[in-house]
Amino acid sequence: MDVEAARMIGAGLASIALIGAGVGIGTIFGHYLSAAIRNPTAAPQFFGHAMLGFALAEATGLFGLVIAFIILFS
């Protein structure tokens, strides 16, 4: 196998983390909206938790993207 082909395959596999980040962010905000509709007075209390979950899920995706770029360009 050519080294360039192996790099492309490795970067593609590392990019799978972005799919997980998208699913995680959708789940977090979907459940937050569901909870906010059921109990609107408690929604501001849980908004910080939703933002923390969003940040952690997004960081996971960004780590995967950084790894993909490292594989491609080094």
| Segments making up each domain of the chain, as ranges | 3-73
Report the C-alpha gap between 32 and 60 in whole angstroms: 20
Size of the chain, expressed as the number of residues it contains: 74
Band the pLDDT of 67: cuts 50, 70, 90. very high
**pLDDT > 90? residue 74:** no
Report the C-alpha gap between 62 and 74 in whole angstroms: 18
**pLDDT > 90? residue 55:** yes
Q: Residue 51: how many CB atoms within 10 A of its CB? A: 12
SS3 15: coil
Could you say which architecture CATH assigns to the domain 3-73?
Up-down Bundle (1.20)
Report the C-alpha gap between 58 and 10 in whole angstroms: 21
- Tell me the per-residue pLDDT of 5-53, one tens digit each, with 9 for 90 and over: 999 999 999 888 889 899 999 999 999 999 999 999 999 999 999 999 9
pLDDT at res. 59: 92
The structure tokens listed for 39 are: 């109990």
Mean of pLDDT values over 49-58:
91
